[in-house]
Amino acid sequence: MSNQACIEAYDKHKNLKLAADEVGIKWQQLYTILIKEGVKVTGDKARYGSDSDKLAAEGERIFKELVPIAKDLNAEQFQSKIDFDVLGYSVDVKTSTLKKSNCRSESKRWAFSLKKQEYFADFFVCIAIKDNKLHKIYLIPCELVRYYQSISMSENGSKWDDYLVKPEDLLDFFKSLPTKETVH
The tens digit of pLDDT for each residue in 130-142 reads 999 999 999 999 9
140 bridge partner residues: 124
Statement to judge: residues 10 and 77 lie in one domain: no
Cα 38 from Cα 6, distance rounded (Å) = 12
Statement to judge: residues 14 and 87 lie in one domain: no
pLDDT > 90? residue 75: no
Statement to judge: residues 10 and 93 lie in one domain: no
Is 138 part of any domain?
yes
Is 182 part of any domain?
no
Is 183 part of any domain?
no
Per-residue pLDDT, averaged over 121-148, amounts to 93
| Structure confidence at residue 30 as a pLDDT band (50, 70, 90) | confident
pLDDT > 80? residue 79: no
The tens digit of pLDDT for each residue in 48-63 reads 556 677 888 899 999 9
Statement to judge: residues 56 and 104 lie in one domain: yes
Top-confidence residue, 13 or 90: 90
Cα 28 from Cα 19, distance rounded (Å) = 11
Top-confidence residue, 31 or 49: 31
Top-confidence residue, 43 or 12: 12
Contacts of 99 (CB under 8 A, 6+ apart): 108, 109, 110, 111
The mean predicted confidence, pLDDT, of the chain is 86
Statement to judge: residues 30 and 106 lie in one domain: no
pLDDT > 90? residue 129: yes
Statement to judge: residues 91 and 156 lie in one domain: yes
Instruction: Domain of residue 22: give its range.
Output: 3-36
**DSSP secondary structure, 151-179, as one string:** EEEETT--GGGGGEE-GGGHHHHHHHSPP
pLDDT of 182 reads: 55
Statement to judge: residues 104 and 30 lie in one domain: no
Instruction: Report how many domains make up the chain.
Output: 2
Statement to judge: residues 52 and 29 lie in one domain: no
pLDDT of 8 reads: 86
Statement to judge: residues 82 and 172 lie in one domain: yes
